[in-house]
Structure 1
Amino acid sequence: MTVDTESPVRPMNTVTEDEPLGATRSERLSALAQQHGALVTLVIAVLAAWLSFDTFMTTDNMQNMAVSSAFLAVVALGMTFVIVTGGIDLSVGSLFALGGVLAAWGSQYGTAVALLLPLGVCALIGFVNGLLIARSRLAPFIVTLAALLGARGILLAVTDEGSKTYLVDKGSFFATLGQGKLLGIGAPVWITVGLFVAGAVVLRRSRFGQYVYAVGGNEDAAALMGVPVARTKTAVYTLSGLCAGLAGALNAAWLASGVTILGSGMELEAISAVVIGGTLLSGGFGFLSGSLVGVLLLKVIQNVINQIGSLDSAYQQVVSGGFLAVVVVAQTWLGRRRRVL
C-alpha cells in the first residue's frame, strides 16, 4: 500500500468549519451548540455579572482577571493538544509550580536562564511522559500522575522542603515580562494571545495538527494512513510540559518570586477549561478558541463568587465541578444526537 505523505491527513471524528452539504439543520445546530455553547454561556455570565455588580466591569477588575487567566490559559493550550489526541496530563500543576521556582532561581543569572531553565526542565519531563506513553504504551493517567509526584519532589529538593523562596529582581527585564504593560494590558495577556494565535494555526492548518486530530480520532487507522503516532504523542506531551513551565515562569515574573505552594489542582482546572470549551475527552475533536473561552468562563465564575463576598472560596470548586458535569453530559448528548441524525 502506498501512502501519499504530501497530502495532509484529514481530522477524524471532527467538525470542521465546512459542514457536509448533506448535513441536516438539526445536525448543524448540534454542531454549533457543541462548538460555541461555552461562548454563549460566557457572554450571558458576563452580562449577568455586569448588571449585578458595580465593580465587575471596572478597569482594575478586568485587568486582574485577564492577567490571572493568562497563566491557566497557557497551561490549557498544551492540555488541548494532549486531550485532542485522547490523552490526559495530570503533571501540569506540579510543572507549573516547578517552572516558577526554577525561573525565580535562574533570574539571578539573567533573563535567558530564568526562561530557558524552566522551559528546558519541564519540556524534558513532558518528553519523558510522551516516550513512556507512546513507546511503552503505558496509561497516560499513571505516567503523568507519577510525573506529578516527581516534579513536586524536585520542587521540594530545590527549595529545601519549601523553606526557601527565591525572589525576582523587580527591576530586571524578566520581571517586566510578568509586570509590564502594553496599551494598558498586562504583558502576560499579550504573550498568551500570541501563543494562542500560533497554536491555533498549528492545530488547524499544519500537518502536525492534522496528525493530532487523526491520532485522537482513531489511532489504528491513523497508523495505517502513515501518521507517525508515537512521534505525535511524544510531541504533544512535550508541548504540554513546555507550556506548563512557561506559565510558571511568567507567574514567577508577575509575583516577583517562586511560590512553592502554587499549582495544586491546576491540572484539574486546565482539564475543566478544555472540556468546557468543547474538546472531547475521548479525543479527535477540539479547538483552542474553545479552551480559551473555557478558561475565561471559569475565571468569571470565580470572580463572581468573590464579588458576592458572603460565599466561601470553596464554592468556586463546587460551582466549577457542577458546571463541568453539566458540560460533559451535554457534550455526550449532542454527540449521540449527531450520530443518530
Structure 2
Amino acid sequence: MTTTNPDAPVTHATTGPPEETRPVGSARSDRLSALVQQHGALAVLLLVSLVASFSFDSFATGDNIGNMATGSAFLAIVALGMTFVIVTGGIDLSVGSLFALGGVLAAWGSRHGTLVALLLPLSVCALIGLVNGLLIARSRLAPFIVTLAAMLGARGLMLALTDEGADTYLVGKDSFLAELGQGSTLGLANPVWITLALFVAGAVVLRRTRFGQHVYAVGGNEDAAALMGAPVARTKILVYVLSGLLAGLAGALNAAWLASGVTILGNGMELEAISAVVIGGTLLTGGLGHVSGSLVGVLLLKVIQNVINQIGSLDSSYQQVVSGAFLAVVVVAQTWLGRRRHLM
C-alpha cells in the first residue's frame, strides 16, 4: 500500500521537453525572423537612402524627393490592389494594360468633363477586374491564364481606341483633371496625397474589417476558410475588382499628370507591382502581407532607380537587373524564414 503526502507539491505531465532543456532563444528567434520578414525592406530602404544621401549631393534635395514621391505614386496605387490579390494567393497580370487603358480612357473622357474622365476608366477597368474574378472564382480557372488573357485584351482595346497608337488624346490644361494630377497641396503633389489616403484606407480594410479577415483566410487555407463560413468566391471576385479599379485610377491620374493618354505606358508594370509587393514582405503563396510593406517596396525600387540615374555612367537597364536581384534574394529569404519558423 502506498501513501501520498498531501503537502507535497503537485506536478503535471507536459507534452514538451522540460523547461530547463527547452531552447530559451527559440521564441525570440521566431519573433526576429518574423520582424525581418515583414520589415526587412524598410531597413534596406533606410540604408540605401542614407548611403545615397552622403554619396550624391542632389539625392536628398526637396526637388528630387518630390519627384521620386510623385513618380512612385502611380505604381504604388497599382501595388496596393496587387497586395490584396496576392494575399489571397492569386496574381493579376492585367494591371499594366489596365493602367494604360485607364489613362487613354481618362484623356478621351476629359473632353466631356472631369466626371466622365474619372468614371469611365474606373468603370471599364473595374468591369474587366470583375470578369477576371468571376472566371477565377466561379469557373475555377487559373489566375495566371485569366489575367494574362485580360492583359492582352485590355491592351488590344487601348490600341483600338487610339488607332494603333496613332491618336493621342490630350487633357485640357485648365481642367480640374489636370489640376488633380499636376497640382500640389502643402508642398506635396496631389497624386501623392491621394496615394497616401488610399494606403491608409487599404490598411484599415485589410487589418480591421471582416472583408480583410476573409482575404487573409482565403490566402492562408481556402478549404478551411470555406468551412469557417467565409465567402471564398465573393472575396476573390472583390479583390480582382479592386485591383482593376485601382489600376484604372492610377492610369487616370497618370494621364492627368502628363496631360495626355500615352499608349506606350504600362509595359511591365504588372511585374514591377508584383516585385514591390513581394519585396515588401507579402508571401506569393498568400495568407501573409501588409499594405505598408508594399509601399516600402515601391519606394525601394524607385530609390534604386534614382541612385542609378544619379551615377550617370550606368544604363537604366541596370535598374531592372538590381530589382530582379532584390526580388530573388527576398523570395529566397522568405522561403528560408518561413521554413525556419515552422521548424521551431
Short-chain TM bin:
over 0.9
Equivalence for 2:4: none
| Matching residue of 1:35 | 38
Which of 133, 138, 141 is the equivalent residue of 2:136?
133
Show the 5 A alignment for 1:59-74: 59-74=62-77
* CA deviation after TM superposition for structure 1 residue 325, in Å: 0.2
Q: Distance in 2 between matches of 1:113 and 1:307?
A: 40
2:122 matched to 1:149? no
1:229-265: CA deviation from partner (whole Å, max 9, x where unpaired)? 0000000000000000000000000000000000000
Q: What is aligned with 2:120?
A: 117
- Consecutive unaligned residues of structure 2, counting only runs of 5 or more, are 1-24
Matched residue, 1:266: 269
Whether 2:169 is the aligned partner of 1:166: answer yes
Is 1:303 the equivalent of 2:309? Answer: no
Q: CA–CA distance in 1 between the matches of 2:284 and 2:36? A: 17
Query: In the alignment, residue 265 of structure 1 is paired with which amino acid?
Result: G
Mapped partners of 2:218, 2:26: distance in 1: 25
Provide the C-alpha distance between the structure 1 equivalents of 2:169 and 2:62, rounded to a whole number of angstroms.
31
Shift of 1:23: 7.3
The CA distance in 2 between the partners of 1:47 and 1:279, in whole Å, is 25
**What does residue 80 of structure 1 align with?**
83
**Hey, what does 1:235 align to over in structure 2?**
238
Map 1:140-219 to 2 at 5 A: 140-219=143-222
Give the Cα separation in 2 of the matches to 1:284 and 1:154: 34
Separation (CA, whole Å) in 1 of partners of 2:37 and 2:328: 15
5+ residue gaps, structure 1, are: 1-21
Shift of 1:210: 0.1
Structure 2 letter corresponding to 1:226: G
* Displacement over 6 Å in runs of 4+: none
Tell me the amino acid that sits aligned with residue 296 of structure 1.
Answer: L
Percent identity among equivalent residues?
Answer: 81
TM-score by length of 2: 0.92
Deviation string 1:160-181 (CA, Å, 9 cap, x unpaired) is 0100000000111111111010
Equivalenced residues, count: 320
Is the counterpart of residue 98 in structure 1 residue 62 in structure 2?
no
In 2, the alpha carbon distance for the partners of 1:330 and 1:171 equals 49
**Match of residue 229 from structure 2:** 226
How far does the alpha carbon of each residue in 1:20-74 deviate from its partner, in whole angstroms, 9 at most, with x for none? Answer: xx97101110011111100000000100110110010111111110000000000
Tell me the secondary structure at the aligned position of residue 264 of structure 1. Answer: coil
Matched residue SS, 2:164: coil
Between the aligned partners of 1:177 and 1:319, the Cα distance in structure 2 is: 33
Tell me the equivalent position of 1:10: none
The aligned residue for residue 246 of structure 1 is: 249
In the alignment, does 2:49 pair up with 1:46?
yes
Q: Does 1:329 align with 2:332?
A: yes
Distance 2:268 2:75 in 1: 11
**Counterpart pick for 1:291 among 280, 294, 308:** 294
User: 1:17 — aligned with what?
Assistant: none
- Provide the rounded CA distance (Å) in 2 between the counterparts of 1:231 and 1:23: 39
Whole-Å separation in 2 of the counterparts to 1:314 and 1:184:
32
RMSD across aligned positions (CA): 0.8
Question: 2:318 is matched with which residue: 312, 315, 318?
Answer: 315
CA distance in 2, matches of 1:327, 1:23: 23
- C-alpha distance in 2 between matches for 1:33 and 1:339: 15
Amino acid at match of 1:174: L
Q: For residues 326 and 30 of structure 1, what CA distance do their matches in structure 2 show?
A: 15
Aligned AA for 2:316? S
What is the letter of the counterpart of residue 248 of structure 2?
G
Cα distance in structure 2, aligned partners of 1:242 and 1:224: 30
One-letter code aligned to 2:245:
L
Superposed CA offset, 1:175-229 (max 9, x none): 1111010011100000000000001000000000000000000000000100000
Q: Which has more radius of gyration?
A: 2
